[in-house]
Amino acid sequence: MDAVKKNTELGIYGNAFDQKGFNDFILGHNVVGFFENEITLKSGRKSHFYVNWRKPTEDALLTDILSNYVIRFIKSKGLQVDTIYGVPEGATKLAVITQFKYSKDKNPVVREGDFVLAMGRGKIKDHGSADDRLFLGKPKGNVLVLEDTTTTGGSLIDTITMLQKEGINVVAAVGLTNRNERRDDGNSVAEALQKLGVKYYPMSNATELLPEAAKKSNTRLEILDKVEEEFKEYGEKSLKFYARK
């Protein structure tokens, strides 16, 4: 691997975000793919395709690469952020690692109290102060909420609503991959978050990734047809894998 390609893959700090490199990272590590038999998602919907960030975020090297991509994405959008907070519990680990690296990139000489490593509790404690019951490190300053996969955005919206009730200033939400589905109320995730005064920034989109994943796989056309039907029913826009005769 030459130095330029290695620097691109590892997401060396800078102000540019390599969208193609990030999409290739996703496809190369099977984050997106297809199911022969439909599964039920957390949202309750059934689907023949998946977006699953579990394997990359279980691996130390891949998490290191991924956190660099997140940092570069934040900087490319010009977002002024003090704390990166992960939606419990799926994005918590990545958010803490990214926050640690982001704080040192933002200020190479970090002093005690400059930045917090914020975590939300998966299960709220029934005793103690409000901060301790809800958090293992309360977010402060301008807060960016990080999610791995957004479908209807339920967990993301619940997290942002809780933070706002606690007086925390949520300035943006970032999702590693947006499934590009509309909610039951007809809104996209971005539209639902806009009502909370928060802008949503997806780092990647299923509508761009799925056609590329189909090219790499041996997925039967019948399955691709079913995914197209899903987007007709739920999608922000339609999806076509191949030209119809």
At residue 245, the pLDDT reads 42
Q: Which fold has domain 29-234?
A: Rossmann fold (3.40.50)
Q: Over the stretch 78-106, which tens digit does the pLDDT of each residue have?
A: 999 999 999 997 899 999 999 999 998 88
Q: Over the stretch 106-145, which tens digit does the pLDDT of each residue have?
A: 888 888 888 999 998 877 777 777 778 888 899 999 999 9
Q: Over the stretch 52-64, which tens digit does the pLDDT of each residue have?
A: 999 999 999 999 9
At residue 54, the pLDDT reads 94
Please, what is the Cα angle at 96 between 159 and 43, to 5 degrees?
Answer: 35
Cα distance between the two ends of the chain: 42
Q: Over the stretch 162-207, which tens digit does the pLDDT of each residue have?
A: 999 999 999 999 999 999 999 999 999 999 999 999 999 999 999 9
* Residue extents of the structural domains in the chain: 29-234
- pLDDT at 242 exceeding the cut of 90: no
Q: Over the stretch 199-231, which tens digit does the pLDDT of each residue have?
A: 999 999 999 999 999 999 889 999 999 999 999
- pLDDT at 3 exceeding the cut of 60: no
pLDDT band at residue 5 using 50, 70 and 90 as cut-offs: low
At residue 4, the pLDDT reads 43
- Per-residue 3-state assignment (H helix, E strand, C coil) for 42-97: CCCCEEEEEECCHHHHHCHHHHHHHHHHHHHHHHHCCCCCCEEEECCCCCHHHHHH
- Residue 156 and residue 188 in contact, taking contact as beta carbons nearer than 8 Å: no
At residue 136, the pLDDT reads 86
pLDDT band at residue 13 using 50, 70 and 90 as cut-offs: low
At residue 83, the pLDDT reads 96
